[in-house]
Amino acid sequence: MAAPMFQGSICALITPFAEDGVDEDAFQRFTDWQIRQGTEGVVACGTTGESPTVSHAENKRIIDLAVEASAGRAPVIAGTGSNATHEAIDLTAYAARAGADAALVVTPYYNKPSQEGLYQHFKAVHDAVDIPILIYNIPGRSVVDMDVGTMARLAELPRIVGVKDSTKDMARPYRLRSAIGNGFCQVSGEDGTQLPYLAMGGHGCISVSANVAPGPLSEMHRAWRSGDVARAQAINDRLMPIHDVMFAEPSPAPAKYGASLLGFGSERLRLPMVPLSDATKAQIRQAMAGAGLLG
């Protein structure tokens, strides 16, 4: 049985901003810290990295920075999706040239393509580039859900290697595993359901909470893989308040604020994202302190 290409806790990295653009020093320090804390992979310029509001030039630069900072110690998955197929091809081709280990390509948002349109979009990206591709299936943001049959068709293509599953459907890992096999990488995109997802056959999580809790989350996944279910459950219980508060206001504002408390950049966002309320900031500080993440 083939092993999945990616597993464990993978951080969906925030993108720290300075007044004049990306805070490159903070981003690279943050990426390095993630890996030293045990994170088993990083996603550069995903939704948590504010991909909707960075330019294509910034997107490519962020990929370069992540590859440089990781220095081969952990895989870099580059966010390269677009609702325009030619743009997704351009960004994904750049990620391949930059040395990223894989690309995370979201289902086209707003257009609402059919299942055949989804298949042809991903096939076009696949055929144009030489890099492993993870499908990012997030109906809540893209307003389209790739069904199991379409994903099984795409899994027949050699460089379509897995999915970031943000459907919140805990039966989906079983259905995909039954249709495709265990070698197709299944990582959750929902922090609060990581353990149920693993129990149903998933392999890991692309995590927002890992921005502030990389060490504990990495430990939780390693405990699960070693069969120490009680240890994994105890860590999960400790971190559930973190998972909740990371979405108390639209993401990634809570994660950026939490990272700023840890010394990694400012909480600066780009419109239409706006700063957190003081009440939410207090909730984040309380949750992080309660989980032993501050001080």
Q: How confident is the model at residue 171 (pLDDT cuts 50, 70, 90)?
A: very high
To the nearest whole number, what is the mean pLDDT of the chain? Answer: 97
d(CA 169, CA 229): 22
pLDDT > 90? residue 41: yes
* DSSP calls for 190-245: -GGGHHHHHHTT--EEEESGGGT-HHHHHHHHHHHHHT-HHHHHHHHHHHHHHHHH
288 contacts: CB under 8 Å, gap ≥ 6:
212, 242, 258, 261, 294
pLDDT > 80? residue 3: no
Q: How confident is the model at residue 4 (pLDDT cuts 50, 70, 90)?
A: confident
Cα→Cα distances 56→20, 53, 127, 147, Å: 16, 9, 21, 29
Per-residue pLDDT reduced to its tens digit, 123-151: 999 999 999 999 999 999 999 999 999 99
pLDDT > 60? residue 1: no
Per-residue pLDDT reduced to its tens digit, 196-249: 999 999 999 999 999 999 999 999 999 999 999 999 999 999 999 999 999 999
* Catalytic residue from among 60, 94, 164, 197: 164
21: helix, strand or coil: strand
Nearest to 119 by CA among 166, 82, 154: 154
- Take residue 159 and report the two structure tokens written for it: 């460089």
Nearest to 180 by CA among 202, 159, 153: 153
Angle, helices 115-128/85-98, rounded to nearest 10 degrees: 30
Domains and CATH numbers, the chain: 8-231 (3.20.20.70)
Query: What is the mean pLDDT of the segment spanning 78-98?
Result: 98
288: helix, strand or coil: helix
Does residue 68 contact residue 100 with C-beta atoms inside 8 Å?
no
Cα→Cα distances 193→71, 239, 289, Å: 31, 12, 22
68 contacts: CB under 8 Å, gap ≥ 6:
28
Cis peptide leading into 272, omega within 30 of 0?
yes
Beta-bridge mates of residue 165:
137, 188
164 a catalytic residue: yes
Burial class (CB in 10 A: 0-12, 13-18, 19+), 121: buried
d(CA 105, CA 87): 11
pLDDT > 70? residue 2: no
Nearest to 156 by CA among 115, 126, 111, 129: 126
* Catalytic residue from among 136, 197, 256, 257: 136
DSSP, res 158: T
Beta-bridge mates of residue 162:
134, 185
pLDDT > 90? residue 295: no
d(CA 132, CA 161): 6
